[in-house]
Amino acid sequence: MIDQITFLNESWIWQIGIGAVVLWFVFGWKEWPQFGKRRFWVKIAIAFFAISSLAIIALKPAISATNNTATKMVLLTEGYNKEQLDSLRKIHKKLKKYKYKANHPIFDNINTPDSVFILGYGVKPYDLWQLDDHNVNYLGRNTPTGVVRFKYNYKNTVGEHQIFTGLYAKPQNGNKLVLEGPGGAGLDSVSLVAEEQQKFQLTTNLNVKGNYLFSLVEKDSLGKTLSTDPIPLVVKDPTPLKIVVVNGFPTFETKYLKNYLAEMGHQVLVRSQITKGRYKFEYFNMERTPMGAFSKKNLESFDLVIIDANSFKNLGRKSRSALENSVKENGLGVFIQPDPNFFRSSKGFGAFDFISEKKTEIRLDDPEKIKLSKYAFVLKDKFQLQHIHTKSNTKIISGYKHIGKGRIGTTVLENTYELVLEGNTDAYQQIWSKLINSISSKETLSVEWGVASIIAYKDHPFKFDVRTSISKPIIKTNKKYNVSIRKDIDLLNLWKGVTHPRDFGWNTQFLEQDTTKIFEYFVADTSHWRSQTLYKTIEENKRYYKKSLKKEAIQNHTVRPIPLLSFYLLFLFCTGYLWLEPKLLKP
């Protein structure tokens, strides 16, 4: 039993012990004249008790007790189940109940239970640390009904196909999820079927730039709105591309392609050979710039080179290496317009493997299913090849390869301009925009902001990360407060931070070093996306306690301080006796 007593001020034990002994000796010395008498021995003994009780008061003794006798506690969080609580109480009679309040201390310091049961959705992620040293039993709760997961790119470009994916838990049959755009314009909808979980996908084309609040609305079968959750979206204007087209001779394919690209506002330079050493240069939406043989310098500003297979084959050594280096180092894209000889071509830079087949017509896996003419080949699926257009996921019609930072790609489609002539302009544009999008060089961002959740709540922590090449970024909010950030251990350019937004609506923060790179996020009140928040809380809790379970063996006993009142009384009596005794005996 005695070894279970510890002192809270254990670090002072030597100082206090020595002090007490010294004090006792001093007392002994003071009483020395009475040595040998019975009174002396009595006084010495009483002094010993007084001094030791004083020392004990200073050292604060405590009993460390094992768990089996100690208290258990149940933490009731939002949405707990009464029945669960009752059955828990049946098993553990002396169960302490505590209602959880977010952002408040859960335990007072002394009276800590050794085992905590948590009922309901769980503790807010930012309060989890409070349960660090406890043996926690998360009894949890079933998944809440509603959209528990929702994912999309919050930042996008005009003209892009925006896809929203999500997971609906326990949907009710007949209800509908509607994606609404600005002003509540219905864009897409999904009807829910009674299932355990239902995955859904909503899509729309973005056609206006700006910061918008789309919303996900749940309606019942009669069209009554059940819930509305905001979806913040930042839509930017697209950046046009700079494209150079090199052709050995003018073709219809190039003619229609350049018209399309130029009309869409891209900067296009077309160089087609007229005869030996003579070229036709066409500049669309751009200044006149010389473009002879390729050099790293004149390719620098371009995002994409479209070149026909023959010209590509006949490139000079210097041009070829310049092109190759631009692709590798600057991320330039190269698209090779094939000709029949190309399919037999050799190895090296810009070589693709093909499989010959009989068909010269194909319908792509697009919704339109328009017939396209192609060469009697398809691309061979190799490790490095990325697909652009495929036919039922087996035949690869267009693809590209990564080379350094850049890409090089080609297609087996032929005479796609016929689509325009037949009036299928949309299909034509879709094919080419997909091709060019995937091959052309990408803009590298100096700053990229990332978020863990789609929405921020007022006065709640909002986690974000920022990837930047700036060495010591400083982040400020629109109110000019600094937000502290932490560098990731493994990734040098990743920084993480937490902010607590103070206003509803769109909030901004930016890097002090580059104030143009603004991060905009939407702040709502906690009533939105509740199912998702609850689901996240459950998941966080589960994960956290799984981690903390390992600590169980170590944290088996708790320390209970011994009440000091008796020592105080003892001290009082002892000192009282010592003070009173001479006075009583003197007369």
Q: How far, CA to CA in Å, does 127 sit from each of 42, 76, 118, 461, 550?
A: 57, 14, 13, 11, 20
Q: Quote the distance between the C-alpha of residue 274 and its chain's center.
A: 55
Helix (H, G, I), strand (E, B) or coil at 87: helix
Does residue 280 belong to the site contacting other proteins (CB under 8 A)?
yes
| Min CB(171)–other proteins separation in Å | 27
Helix (H, G, I), strand (E, B) or coil at 39: helix
Does residue 303 belong to the site contacting other proteins (CB under 8 A)?
yes
- Number of Cβ within a 10 Å radius of residue 195: 12
Q: Which residue in the set 381, 448, 539, 581 belongs to the binding site for other proteins (CB under 8 A)?
A: 448
Q: Which helix (H) or strand (E) holds 254?
A: helix 252-263
| Min CB(301)–other proteins separation in Å | 12
| Min CB(437)–other proteins separation in Å | 5
Near other proteins by CB under 8 A, which window of 67-75, 126-134, 435-443, 563-571?
A: 435-443
| Min CB(384)–other proteins separation in Å | 6
Window 480 to 519, contacts with other proteins (CB under 8 A)? 491-494, 505-506
| Min CB(183)–other proteins separation in Å | 3
Near other proteins by CB under 8 A, which window of 128-136, 145-153, 237-245, 479-487?
A: 237-245
Q: Which residue in the set 79, 159, 248, 497 belongs to the binding site for other proteins (CB under 8 A)?
A: 159
Nearer of residues 285 and 575 to other proteins, judged by Cβ? 285
Does residue 444 belong to the site contacting other proteins (CB under 8 A)?
yes
Instruction: Report the C-alpha gap between 466 and 489 in whole angstroms.
Output: 14
Show the 3-state SS of 264-297.
CCCEEEEEEEEECCEEEEEEECCCCCCCCCCCHH
Does residue 575 belong to the site contacting other proteins (CB under 8 A)?
no
Q: How many residues bind other proteins (CB under 8 A)?
A: 73
Give me the residues paired with residue 463 across strands. Answer: 498
Does residue 520 belong to the site contacting other proteins (CB under 8 A)?
no
CA proximity to 462, closest of 452, 448, 476, 477 = 452
| Min CB(142)–other proteins separation in Å | 36
Task: Show the binding pattern over residues 238-277: x = contacts other proteins (CB under 8 A), - = does not.
Answer: xxxx-----------------x-xxxxxx-------xxxx
CA proximity to 380, closest of 355, 362, 401 = 355
| Min CB(93)–other proteins separation in Å | 55
Window 58 to 87, contacts with other proteins (CB under 8 A)? none
Does residue 299 belong to the site contacting other proteins (CB under 8 A)?
no
| Min CB(378)–other proteins separation in Å | 21
CA proximity to 464, closest of 407, 425, 515, 522 = 522
Q: Which residue in the set 53, 424, 441, 548 belongs to the binding site for other proteins (CB under 8 A)?
A: 441
Those residues whose C-beta lies under 8 Å from the C-beta of residue 283, and which sit 6 or more positions away, are 268, 269, 289
Q: Which helix (H) or strand (E) holds 456?
A: strand 456-457
Q: How far, CA to CA in Å, does 32 sit from each of 35, 46, 578, 580?
A: 5, 15, 15, 18
Task: Show the binding pattern over residues 188-227: x = contacts other proteins (CB under 8 A), - = does not.
Answer: -----------------x-xxxxxxx--------------
| Min CB(158)–other proteins separation in Å | 7
Near other proteins by CB under 8 A, which window of 66-74, 100-108, 154-162, 546-554?
A: 154-162
Nearer of residues 357 and 381 to other proteins, judged by Cβ? 381
- Describe the strand order of the beta sheet including 518-524 as a list of residue ranges: 456-457, 518-524, 505-511, 475-477, 482-483
Helix (H, G, I), strand (E, B) or coil at 419: helix
| Min CB(383)–other proteins separation in Å | 7
Nearer of residues 8 and 491 to other proteins, judged by Cβ? 491
Does residue 346 belong to the site contacting other proteins (CB under 8 A)?
no
Report yes or no: 233 and 154 within 8 Å, Cβ to Cβ: yes
Burial 422-452 (b: 16+ CB within 10 A, else e): eebeebbbbbbeebbebbbbeeeeebebeee
Nearer of residues 402 and 476 to other proteins, judged by Cβ? 402
Window 355 to 394, contacts with other proteins (CB under 8 A)? 383-384
